Amino acid sequence: MDPITALAEFEQAALASIAAANNAAALEQARIEFLGKKQGRLKDLQSLLGKATPEERPVLGKRFNDVKTAVEAALEARQAIVAKPKVAATAIDLTLPGTLPELGRLHPLTQTVREFQQIMARFGFEVVDDRELEDERHNFDALNIPLEHPARDPLDNFYLAAACTASGKPVLMRSQTSTVQIRVMEQRQPPIRVISLGRVYRPDDIDATHHVMFHQMEGLMIGRDVTMASLKSVLRMFAAAYLGGDTEVRFRPSFFPFTEPSVEVDVRWKNGWLELGGAGMVDPNVLQSVGYDPEEYGGFAFGLGIARFCMLRHGIDDIRLFYQNDVRFLRQF
Ligand code: DAH
């Protein structure tokens, strides 16, 4: 076979093999077969060059180099292709393990608030909400809290030094959700059956059971024949719904300026009684302060600490845990 034909055949075979190789191993095999330094077919062709006549040599030499360059270039181009992953970068590989999204969860107090709202909704109580920044009328005056009452002591309240109402009256962070009773009665006529759950603020030394901010649930029911028996039933049903059907509830006579008579509500817990909050029949003075006729309407009100229930339910022994945002605590709920 003349060298020119041999070179053409070599080129054709080499390019076909390289094009057919669809992985790195097959391509390497083709490289060894055609371009291998020791036994490659190009090496055999090189020996033909030696046999060429001096006239043939320049043409043949050039042809040899062209073929060698073309095959090497094809090999390099193919190497780049087979080295790439089969799947295009934009495609989704369904066989890869997924990345699980990090699921957040509701704060235990938020969970408690929502559960309270659901329980009370079953007894027909509507959820209302109102401001945390209040004036003295709604936090004290309309609630029948006299000027000399210790609850009004500026040292026991968060008054805002730099703020006041439009009429220049002092402003404070509400110290109780009872403010919402007044807000609701000012805007509506009986019958009223509402609850309001929210934050209240009092300067206090922070320890395992006290904080400067805490949560209360306020309840208010006003109508023509709402009685103390209604109050006791609602609170008993509420305690049973949240803490369990066999929860024992106790009512102790007490005093609050905005209720008459007033009671303190306890639940039986571990050989003792645990105080949940206060309640009573809305004082006629309160009804009058919002323009209701106490001869026509009456009702009950109650105010319960929320954290206490959540702590009982989950065995949490320190109220500060609620506000530290430690995920080791939070992710347990
Ligand atoms: N506001 C009271 C407090 O923060 C709790 C309370 C007692 C609310 C009796 C009431 C009530 O509605 O009738 O200590």
86 three-state secondary structure: coil
Q: Specify whether 221 is located in the same domain as 277.
A: yes
Q: Does the beta carbon of 157 lie inside 6 Å of ligand 1?
A: no
Q: Does the beta carbon of 176 lie inside 6 Å of ligand 1?
A: yes
Q: Specify whether 199 is located in the same domain as 117.
A: yes
Q: Specify whether 31 is located in the same domain as 155.
A: no
Query: What is the mean pLDDT of the segment spanning 54-77?
Result: 91
85 is a domain residue = yes
Q: Does the beta carbon of 226 lie inside 6 Å of ligand 1?
A: no
Q: Specify whether 203 is located in the same domain as 297.
A: yes
124 is a domain residue = yes
Comparing C-alpha atoms, which of 190, 181, 196 is closest to residue 138? Answer: 181
Question: What are 242-257's pLDDT values in tens digits?
Answer: 988 888 999 999 999 9
Q: Does the beta carbon of 280 lie inside 6 Å of ligand 1?
A: yes
- Give the atom of ligand 1 at the shortest distance from the alpha carbon of 258: 13
Q: What is the CATH number for 171?
A: 3.30.930.10
Comparing C-alpha atoms, which of 14, 19, 12 is closest to residue 79? Answer: 19
pLDDT at 87 over 70: no
Q: Does the beta carbon of 279 lie inside 6 Å of ligand 1?
A: yes
| Residue 312 exposure: Cα atoms within 13 Å on the Cβ side | 21
- Give the atom of ligand 1 at the shortest distance from the alpha carbon of 219: 12
Name the pLDDT band for 17 (thresholds 50, 70, 90).
Answer: very high
Question: What are 264-318's pLDDT values in tens digits?
Answer: 999 988 889 988 899 999 999 999 999 999 999 999 999 999 998 999 889 999 9
100 is a domain residue = no
Q: Specify whether 189 is located in the same domain as 241.
A: yes
Distance from the alpha carbon of residue 121 to the mean position of ligand 1, in angstroms: 20
Query: Which residue from 134, 140, 145, 178 has its CB within 8 A of the most atoms of ligand 1, so it is best to mutate?
Result: 178
Q: Specify whether 145 is located in the same domain as 275.
A: yes
In this structure, the number of other CB atoms found within 10 A of the CB of residue 287 comes to 21
87 three-state secondary structure: coil
Q: Angle, to 10 degrees, between the axis of helix 24-35 and the axis of helix 3-20?
A: 170
pLDDT at 4 over 90: no
Strands 170-173 and 133-135: antiparallel
What pLDDT shows up at residue 39? 84
260 is a domain residue = yes
pTM, full prediction? 0.72
Name the pLDDT band for 165 (thresholds 50, 70, 90).
Answer: confident
Q: Does the beta carbon of 144 lie inside 6 Å of ligand 1?
A: no
Q: Specify whether 48 is located in the same domain as 150.
A: no
Encoded tokens for 319? 């109220």
Name the pLDDT band for 85 (thresholds 50, 70, 90).
Answer: low
Residue 29, class by beta-carbon neighbours within 10 Å (0-12 exposed, 13-18 middle, 19+ buried)? middle
Q: Which of 31, 58, 89 is the last residue of a domain?
A: 89
CA distance 14 to 20: 10
97 is a domain residue = no
Question: What are 20-33's pLDDT values in tens digits?
Answer: 998 889 999 999 99
Question: What are 123-141's pLDDT values in tens digits?
Answer: 999 999 999 999 999 999 9
* DSSP letter string, 42-73: HHHHHHHHHHS-TTHHHHHHHHHHHHHHHHHH
CA distance 180 to 325: 29
103 is a domain residue = no
- Give the atom of ligand 1 at the shortest distance from the alpha carbon of 300: 13
Q: Does the beta carbon of 139 lie inside 6 Å of ligand 1?
A: no
Comparing C-alpha atoms, which of 263, 272, 130 is closest to residue 196? Answer: 130
Is 43 within 8 Å of 36 (Cβ atoms)? yes
Strands 272-282 and 259-269: antiparallel
Encoded tokens for 329? 């605590």
Query: Which residue from 139, 256, 263 has its CB within 8 A of the most atoms of ligand 1, so it is best to mutate?
Result: 256
Distance from the alpha carbon of residue 194 to the mean position of ligand 1, in angstroms: 15
96 is a domain residue = no
Domain that holds residue 75: 3-89
- Give the atom of ligand 1 at the shortest distance from the alpha carbon of 304: 5
Query: Which residue has its alpha carbon closest to ligand 1 atom 12?
Result: 302
Query: What is the mean pLDDT of the segment spanning 70-81?
Result: 92
Residues pairing with 275 in the sheet:
266
| Residue 10 exposure: Cα atoms within 13 Å on the Cβ side | 29
Query: Which residue has its alpha carbon closest to ligand 1 atom 7?
Result: 278
* DSSP letter string, 230-274: HHHHHHHHHHHHHH-TT--EEEEEEEETTEEEEEEEEEEETTEEE
Q: Which of 89, 118, 144 is the last residue of a domain?
A: 89
Q: Specify whether 24 is located in the same domain as 162.
A: no
Structurally, the chain folds into a number of domains equal to 2
Q: What is the DSSP letter of 63?
A: H
Q: Specify whether 174 is located in the same domain as 39.
A: no
For the chain, counts of helices (H) and of strands (E):
11, 10
Q: What percent of the chain has pLDDT over 90?
A: 73
Q: Specify whether 181 is located in the same domain as 282.
A: yes
pLDDT at 89 over 90: no
* DSSP letter string, 144-159: T--TT-GGG-GGGS-E
Strands 159-164 and 170-173: antiparallel
Name the pLDDT band for 260 (thresholds 50, 70, 90).
Answer: very high
Name the pLDDT band for 150 (thresholds 50, 70, 90).
Answer: very high
What pLDDT shows up at residue 54? 86
Q: Specify whether 136 is located in the same domain as 9.
A: no
Radius of gyration of the chain (CA): 43
Q: Specify whether 46 is located in the same domain as 126.
A: no
Residues pairing with 191 in the sheet:
none
Instruction: Indicate the average pLDDT of the chain.
Output: 93
10 is a domain residue = yes
Q: Which of 57, 89, 121 is the last residue of a domain?
A: 89
Q: Does the beta carbon of 198 lie inside 6 Å of ligand 1?
A: no
Question: What are 172-225's pLDDT values in tens digits?
Answer: 999 999 999 999 999 999 999 999 999 999 999 999 999 999 999 999 999 999
Query: Which residue from 210, 258, 260 has its CB within 8 A of the most atoms of ligand 1, so it is best to mutate?
Result: 258
Distance from the alpha carbon of residue 277 to the mean position of ligand 1, in angstroms: 7
The number of residues making up the chain comes to 333
